[in-house]
Amino acid sequence: MPYRKIMILAEQRGGKIHPISFELLGKGREIANKLGAELSAVILGNNIAREDLMELIYYGADKVYSYNHPVFEYPDVIQYKHNIVKLIQEERPEIFLFGATNFGRSLAPRVAASVKTGLTADCIDLQVDENEELIQIRPAFVGNILAHIKTKTRPIMSTIRYNVMKKNERNSTREGMIVEMKTEIAETKTPRLIGKEGEKKINITDAKIVVAGGRGLGSQEGFKLLKELADLLGGVVGASRVAVDEGWIGKEHQVGFSGNTVKPRLYIACGISGAPQHLAGMKDSEIIVAINSDPSAPIHRIADYSIIGDLYQVVPLMIKEIKAIRGE
Ligand SMILES: Cc1cc2nc3c(=O)[nH]c(=O)nc-3n(C[C@H](O)[C@H](O)[C@H](O)COP(=O)(O)OP(=O)(O)OC[C@H]3O[C@@H](n4cnc5c(N)ncnc54)[C@H](O)[C@@H]3O)c2cc1C
């Protein structure tokens, strides 16, 4: 039987490894140990420091395939796809995992189609069954059931949601191999990314404090109040899908099943009922505070602190109190 291989894509942004890469290594290591397989990280970038490549080993990789070329300065799906497909054809991994980031969601289907395999998108867990087969678990029917999916084609390919898998403890005594790969430039007539105008304004997935608003805000204006509270606490503003659909705030703020998964230390839900699709994106927050005028709203059931009242009375009081504590 050929040696079993598992690969993950280690994403980087501006040369710094994206945290999803360490989460994929955590789950990849667990599966590799169960299957007796080798775990590799594939990283494509421009001048990534060797110590950053070593981090991938410290977090679980046995091997790192490192591509170093200016063409990877920006996330260019065509060039990424071209080189990853070639690597898959040469190394024939059994399993290949991508992060379900915007980039991973765009790249993975292209790679899967090129190597004629299936893709299970947005997994929230992976397990190995008693026959050593991989079970890919993802929400289906709007999150009402969890589908357990087995794939016949190889490699088995999945995208994994950000912030749901645990990374391993860093172990700087782990040893592994870094393989410098030769980049092949794909001939392409599609537009190429040659730079970016500006940074995305918020990074809600990594925020430690999220102050989120829903339909209960009643208007776009309400988000100014939430922003004031978020700024005071050093947090960011989140939103339910209704608030986004109403056009009160941008999609990048949306928390939930079809938005972002967040795991902050503090999540303050203001005028949000707590629909399952919203809870899917924030239920793992450390402390949940719900401000909702309806005592029967489902959000109160998962809240650590429930404030039953009008957010337009409660939030200004919180702001006033915080300012008073700080002597402002
Ligand atoms: C396929 C699919 C994907 C979805 N994905 C998402 C997703 O990613 N994220 C998401 O959020 N939703 C998602 N939804 C929508 C979800 O089902 C709910 O419709 C949505 O979360 C409800 O938003 P809400 O809580 O803001 O509004 P509502 O359910 O209308 O709740 C508003 C709440 O505000 C309270 N309220 C009103 N006025 C005040 C006040 N002055 N002070 C305090 N409280 C007040 C009310 O008591 C009520 O509980 C999805 C739905 C589908 C079908």
Give pLDDT, residue 197.
66
The alpha carbon of 234 and the centre of ligand 1 are apart by a number of angstroms equal to 25
Alpha-carbon distance 97 to 119, whole Å? 10
For the chain, residues classed under CATH 3.40.50.1220 are 204-325
pLDDT beyond 50 at 150 = yes
Residue 91: burial class (beta carbons within 10 Å; 0-12, 13-18, 19+): middle
Name the band, by pLDDT with cuts 50, 70 and 90, for residue 121.
very high
pLDDT at 3 over 70: no
Q: Is the pLDDT reported for residue 102 higher than 90?
A: no
Decide which of 64 and 141 is more confident: 64
pTM: 0.75
First-to-final CA distance of the chain: 69
Instruction: Compute the average pLDDT of residues 122-137.
Output: 95
Residue 130 has pLDDT above 50, yes or no: yes
Q: What is the DSSP string of 116-129?
A: T---EEEESEEEE-
Question: What dihedral do alpha carbons 201, 205, 209, 211 form, nearest 10°?
Answer: 70
310 touches ligand 1 (CB under 6 Å): yes
- 138: pLDDT confidence band, cut at 50, 70 and 90? very high
Amino acid 241 reads: R
**pLDDT at position 246:** 96
Average pLDDT (17-25) is 97
pLDDT tens, 276-302? 999 999 999 999 999 999 999 999 999
Question: Looking at residues 132-148, what average pLDDT do you find?
Answer: 88
Identify which of 242, 203, 243 has the alpha carbon closest to the alpha carbon of residue 226.
243
pLDDT score recorded for residue 326: 86
Ligand 1 atom at minimal distance to the Cα of residue 273:
49
Work out the average pLDDT over 265-283: 96
- Tell me if 312 CB under 6 Å of ligand 1: yes
Residues with Cβ < 8 Å from 140, sequence gap 6 or more?
Answer: 146, 147
Name the phi and psi angles at 44, rounded to 5: -120, 125
What pLDDT shows up at residue 144?
75
User: Does any ligand 1 atom lie closer than 6 A to the CB of residue 275?
Assistant: yes
What's the number of CA atoms in the CB half-sphere (13 Å) around residue 124? Answer: 14
E strand or H helix at 288:
strand 287-292
Q: Is the pLDDT of residue 154 over 90?
A: yes
Residue 1: band (very low, low, confident or very high) from pLDDT cuts 50, 70, 90: very low
CA of 195 to the centre of ligand 1 (A): 37
Which residue carries 């401000």 as its tokens? Answer: 291
Going by alpha carbons, the residue nearest to atom 1 of ligand 1 is 142
Give the list of residues 6+ apart from residue 209 with CB closer than 8 angstroms, or none: 230, 233, 234, 235, 236, 264, 265, 266, 267, 268
CATH 3.40.50.1220 fits 204-325, yes or no: yes
3-state SS, one letter per residue, for 211-276:
EEECHHHCCCCHHHHHHHHHHHHCCEEEECHHHHHCCCCCHHHEECCCCECCCCCEEEEECCCCCH
Where in the chain is CATH 3.40.50.620?
Answer: 5-181
Query: Could you tell me the distance, in angstroms and rounded to a whole number, from the CA of residue 308 to the centre of ligand 1?
Result: 16
202: confidence class by pLDDT, cuts 50, 70, 90: confident
Ligand 1 centroid to Cα of residue 169, in Å, is 37
Pocket test for ligand 1, best of 292, 301, 307 (most atoms within 8 A of CB): 292
Class level of CATH domain 5-181: alpha beta
Question: Whose C-alpha lies nearest to ligand 1, atom 39?
Answer: 216
Cis peptide before 93 (omega within 30 of 0): no
| Closest among 89, 96, 113 to 155, alpha carbons compared | 96
241 lines ligand 1 (CB under 6 A): yes
Query: What is the dihedral angle through the alpha carbons of 116, 121, 102, 169, rounded to the nearest 10 degrees?
Result: -110
Give the pLDDT confidence score for residue 191 in this predicted structure.
72
